[in-house]
């Protein structure tokens, strides 16, 4: 009888650098939950976990589409009425030089397609640090090195232009700008957008403008799209239903390609090729796009008002707690407080789950300046839950370091 030898199937070496700290912590939390403890999840930006609900007219639109038999494949770029609604949204965002729009399975897929369609082996892309880890994961998947630029905590987490400039190499093809930002909650000023656009113009860079939180501005004003500030520069603006329209499980995102027609022609065709190769985005859910963008927007004032008071509570707590300080977030639902502790923030976050059953994400999971330590809070829970979580974090800080 031949002996059966187990031969291990190894994963691709490229995956060494794929990390997604936001979900990776879940294993520790599972252990704690198995012991019967309730975990306070301040780690995942899913509004549906808390007191936010998908607007009913969006649900109706999807339900109707399913009942009407829209259950086959959709056209690869997206259904016509969704594409028209996205063009309308681009106009409201004052993006004038639109060259193409397309629908994807979440902004996650937009990011994957747009980076894959642009980058060759040896190219690089400027990504923010701290960043939303999907960008570094996609780059790692493609076998590309990370070239990150600093966001400056001393300047309200605006991009550090000096750092951006010195990181540009002859192989730099683009720059990612997350505005409003995850994990810091910062919103870019118009002056900053103008300066980044100037750099992109001078160095022939594509700008990836991740504006998935653009309707969640918590103070006066609104998100200014860099594509509106720089109609001549190649920009892909990302948007979707996950955050502004409280439907993350539907996996609906989109891209808006803008810039000079001749400059983006080939690139836009590359994106379309990849869109065809993956068939289509979720079909019935695409019927919610027009309903969302053109229908009632009544949920938004309520969402923003809840987020505003939860943000205020978070900042008040952080800035009155020893060892903690926090730049006030101006958009989205994240805060990225700094902590002054003698050990790594990953250890602190692990202990917080094990001892206090509160889940946040360590700053090192997003990238941060050497020597600094942070954690990211999702301030979606109600005030009572947040207060409980902050009391527990304060307790651990005192017990462990004082």
Binding site for ligand PLP (CB under 6 A): 45, 106-108, 132, 134, 178, 182, 210, 212, 240, 242, 248, 253
Nearer to ligand PLP, 123 or 210 (CB): 210
By the 8 A CB rule, do 53 and 298 touch?
Answer: no
| Shortest spacing between CB 178 and ligand PLP, in angstroms | 5
**Type and span of the H or E element at 102:** strand 98-104
Nearer to ligand PLP, 55 or 106 (CB): 106
Nearer to ligand PLP, 108 or 286 (CB): 108
The residue with its CB nearest to ligand PLP is 106
Q: For residue 84, with 0-12 CB atoms within 10 Å meaning exposed, 13-18 middle and 19 or more buried, which class applies?
A: middle
Joined tokens for residue 25:
């912590």
**Type and span of the H or E element at 390:** helix 383-401
Within its chain, how far is the Cα of 90 from the centroid?
A: 19
| Shortest spacing between CB 186 and ligand PLP, in angstroms | 12
Nearer to ligand PLP, 281 or 389 (CB): 281
Q: What is the spatial distance between Cα 178 and Cα 208, in angstroms, rounded to a whole number? A: 8
| Shortest spacing between CB 366 and ligand PLP, in angstroms | 11
Nearer to ligand PLP, 107 or 291 (CB): 107
| Shortest spacing between CB 265 and ligand PLP, in angstroms | 26
Nearer to ligand PLP, 45 or 381 (CB): 45
Q: What is the CA radius of gyration of the chain?
A: 22
Q: What is the spatial distance between Cα 183 and Cα 202, in angstroms, rounded to a whole number? A: 29
Nearer to ligand PLP, 134 or 257 (CB): 134
Can you point out the beta strands (E) in 44-171? 98-104, 124-129, 147-152, 158-159
| Shortest spacing between CB 171 and ligand PLP, in angstroms | 24
Among candidate residues 304, 332, 398, 392, the one with its CA nearest the CA of residue 38:
392
| Shortest spacing between CB 242 and ligand PLP, in angstroms | 3
Nearer to ligand PLP, 47 or 321 (CB): 47
What values do phi and psi take at 358, rounded to 5?
-115, 135
Q: How far is CA 375 from CA 139, 208, 352, 360, 371, in A?
A: 24, 25, 11, 7, 14
Joined tokens for residue 67:
């009942």
| Shortest spacing between CB 238 and ligand PLP, in angstroms | 7
Q: What angle do CA 277, 282, 288 make, to 5 degrees?
A: 135
Residues forming a β-bridge with 374: 338
């Amino acid at each position: 009888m031949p002996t059966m030898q187990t031969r291990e199937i190894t994963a691709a070496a490229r995956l060494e650098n794929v990390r997604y700290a936001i979900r990776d912590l879940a294993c520790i939390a599972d252990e704690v939950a198995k012991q019967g403890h309730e975990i306070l999840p301040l780690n995942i930006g899913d509004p549906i976990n808390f007191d936010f609900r998908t607007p009913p007219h969006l649900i109706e639109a999807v339900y109707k589409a399913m009942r009407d038999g829209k259950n086959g494949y959709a056209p690869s770029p997206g259904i016509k009425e969704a594409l028209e609604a996205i063009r309308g949204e681009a106009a409201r965002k004052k993006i004038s030089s639109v060259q193409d729009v397309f629908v994807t399975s979440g902004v996650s897929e937009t990011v994957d397609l747009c980076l894959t369609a642009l980058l060759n082996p040896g190219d690089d892309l400027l990504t923010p640090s701290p960043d939303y880890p999907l960008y570094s994961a996609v780059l790692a998947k493609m076998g590309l090195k990370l070239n990150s630029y600093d966001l400056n905590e001393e300047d309200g987490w605006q991009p550090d232009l000096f750092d951006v400039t010195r990181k540009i190499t002859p192989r730099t093809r683009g720059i990612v700008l997350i505005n409003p930002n995850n994990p810091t909650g910062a919103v870019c000023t118009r002056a900053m957008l103008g300066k980044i656009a100037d750099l992109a113009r001078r160095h022939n860079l594509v700008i990836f403008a991740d504006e998935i939180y653009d309707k969640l501005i918590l103070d006066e004003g609104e998100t200014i799209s860099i594509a509106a500030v720089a109609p001549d520069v190649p920009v892909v603006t990302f948007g979707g239903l996950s955050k502004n329209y409280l439907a993350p499980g539907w996996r609906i995102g989109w891209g808006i390609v803008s810039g000079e027609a001749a400059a983006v022609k080939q690139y836009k065709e590359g994106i379309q090729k990849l869109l065809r190769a993956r068939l289509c985005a979720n079909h019935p859910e695409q019927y919610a796009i027009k309903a969302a963008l053109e229908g009632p927007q009544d949920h938004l004032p309520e969402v923003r008002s809840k987020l505003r008071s939860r943000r205020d509570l978070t900042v008040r707590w952080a800035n009155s707690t020893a060892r903690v300080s926090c730049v006030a977030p101006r958009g989205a639902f994240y805060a990225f407080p700094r902590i002054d502790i003698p050990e790594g923030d990953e250890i602190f976050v692990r202990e917080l789950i094990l001892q206090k059953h509160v889940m946040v994400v360590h700053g090192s999971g997003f990238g941060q300046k050497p020597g600094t330590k942070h954690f990211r809070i999702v301030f979606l829970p109600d005030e009572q839950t947040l207060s409980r979580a902050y009391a527990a974090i304060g307790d651990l800080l005192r017990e462990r370091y004082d």
